[in-house]
Amino acid sequence: MAHANHYKPNLRDTFFNLFEFLDIGKAALGKKPFGDLDEATARQTLESYKQICVDQLAPSFSAGDHEPPRLDPKTGTVTLPAELKKSFAAYFENGLNQLELPTHLGGLGAPPSMAWGAFEMVLGSNAALAFYFLGNLLPRIIDRTATEAQKALYCQRMIDRRWGGTMVLTEPDAGSDVGNARAKAKHVKDDVWEIEGVKRFITNGDFDAVENIIHLVLARPEGAGGGTKGLSMFIVPKFWVNADGSLGERNGVFCTNLAKKMGLKSSATCEMTFGDGKPARGLLVGNVHEGIKQMFHVIEHARMAVGLKSAATLSTAYLNALAYAKERVQGPDLMNARDKNAKKVSIIHHPDVRRMLMLQKSHAEGMRAMILFTASLQDEVELLGGHHDERAAAADALNDLMLPLIKGYCSEKGYEILSVSLQTLGGSGYLQDYPMEQYIRDQKIDTLYEGTTGIQSLDLIFRKLAKDGGATLQVLLGRIRATIESNEGGEALAKEREALSEALTNVEMAFGHLLEKLGESLYHAGLQGNRLLFGAAELVIGWLLIRHAAVALSKRAGASKDDAAFYDGKIASARFFAREVLPNLAMLPKHVSGSTLQLMELPEEVF
């Protein structure tokens, strides 16, 4: 069953985040290095973006679910459903790709906060389609890391001709252990190398909506050392690009298998074979062997995108559930349950349904708040001229700290609460008549790819916290403490700030206990890491929702009827989250301080 009208965007909340809370109209728009967008134009641009997502991207949402991409094993070519290709073309024909591109590459030069706010709508309307647009990111990565000759040959050409793009890391035997990759690179001449090996789980490794696909491939040059430090990154095109920019012969990189998946079926998940029977030529990016460092520009973007995908899916699922709850009439009001003649009411009047709706609303809004707050840090880094500025370096460190929270928490909690979205519809939610079951299947991959949740928690503890001894975490916690002490929101939010204060204490205690436990064994990071990641994320979300509520309170008086209802909703989200979610963090320090190694000491036979 097609879900042409499944997508329900929440641009009003995105506008609130961008223009009322983060105030990017003053903070970022129109300032170098960004383009000359002002707030009115930015709002209008996002409105147009929304309409195209609803009208032209969303209609192919379920096309590939019922008619997945097909592989021709003889040519290694993947054919997409016609509806999906139509939506793919619409994205470019309407210029949606221009928003995030910098002005020197012909784009609008929107700040990251606005670009991520727009991309939420692409992900929410058609998540599988969104990842076919990775080819729009790669020119920015090549522009940042490649030689002048490589930039001249690829950057503008990829944009103008709408080429596809991939990130190629994972191998069958290595999995998430990227440092164990075996794909080899043999030097031919200058920056030209030949790649040999098999890569797995490559998103959209081949598809027939474009004339060329550029693969960014990690491989190990002959004689290089082991681990991630021995890897280099190569530009490997599907069709070789000649010096004059024309397309040459088919390169020796082919899709040799398509994964059959639980969900996200429109996205072609490929096994890619390099150099089997025909050389797979590639260019060493930047002519330097800094592969993992270069690839992390793509990885970090992908992790943010995956967290946003989960948030976007939850948001539209909630709004679908809300619409159903307002229309579905079933049973009397609980207060009149004993009266057989009582009037039947729509299910939004039932307490349990209201609880489920507010659980969805507060988390969807909280995830959006966390993601766009982090995006504003990316604005700050670019505004301050990159990592050479001390303030930019501090903003970048905080952005890095936030990425595992966004990817890990939004993907895990998104999956959990999507089941609540389905539950709101009762038995109807289990049917393909509604998009909920596909939302759940399409979203589950978010906890798995770009680093599983366990990997995100280890990244948080061993990379982000260890890198500066927890100094950046203290900066974040200091911001939260400042909100508590500032009396933000006044007496109206006193109970919420009190709940936030208790949650802050509990999270600080938990991280302190972890430091003690790590002295006993590093295993404790693996056993308790996810809990700490979730706790930190919920603390941040609670903080941001309370700050949102303070803004809403200040704007409530004199607002239009629609705006007043919106602001009341923001206040309700903060109160619900502070009352229902933040108190659960009281268990966090108890779990961490009580962590034992019993699981690690059990013999395998016990399991």
**Residues with a known catalytic role:** 450
Residue bearing tokens 């727009």:
118
Contact between 210 and 164 (Cβ < 8 Å): yes
DSSP letter, residue 95: T
- The closest of 509, 559, 555 to 531, measured between CA atoms, is 509
Q: Given the DSSP bridges, would you call strands 184-189 and 213-221 parallel, antiparallel or unpaired? A: parallel
CA distance linking residue 206 with residue 196, whole number of Å: 18
Contact between 228 and 317 (Cβ < 8 Å): no
Look up residue 92 and give its two tokens: 């470019």
Helix or strand (DSSP H, E) at 184: strand 184-189
Instruction: Identify the three-state secondary structure at position 241.
Output: strand
Residue bearing tokens 């939260």:
480
Look up residue 211 and give its two tokens: 């004339």
Instruction: Identify the three-state secondary structure at position 434.
Output: coil
Q: What is the dihedral of CA 324, 328, 333, 339, to 10 degrees?
A: -170
Residue bearing tokens 């779990």:
591
CA distance linking residue 350 with residue 191, whole number of Å: 66
Look up residue 526 and give its two tokens: 């693996």
Residue bearing tokens 């793009």:
165
Q: Residues 276-297, buried b or exposed e (16+ Cβ, 10 A)? A: eeebbbbbbbbeebbbbebbeb
CA distance linking residue 459 with residue 465, whole number of Å: 9
Max CA-CA distance within the chain? 86
- The closest of 499, 574, 580, 483 to 16, measured between CA atoms, is 574
- The closest of 108, 170, 105, 101 to 136, measured between CA atoms, is 101
Q: Given the DSSP bridges, would you call strands 280-284 and 247-250 parallel, antiparallel or unpaired? A: unpaired
The answer to whether the bond into 33 is cis (omega within 30° of 0) is: yes
Instruction: Identify the three-state secondary structure at position 277.
Output: coil
CA distance linking residue 147 with residue 138, whole number of Å: 14
Residue bearing tokens 């982000």:
464
316 alpha-carbon distance from chain centroid = 15
Look up residue 429 and give its two tokens: 């939610």
The count of residues in the chain is: 607
The residue type found at 146 is A
Look up residue 315 and give its two tokens: 């948001």
Cβ-proximal residues to 250 (8 Å cutoff; 6+ apart), any chain: 238, 239, 240, 278
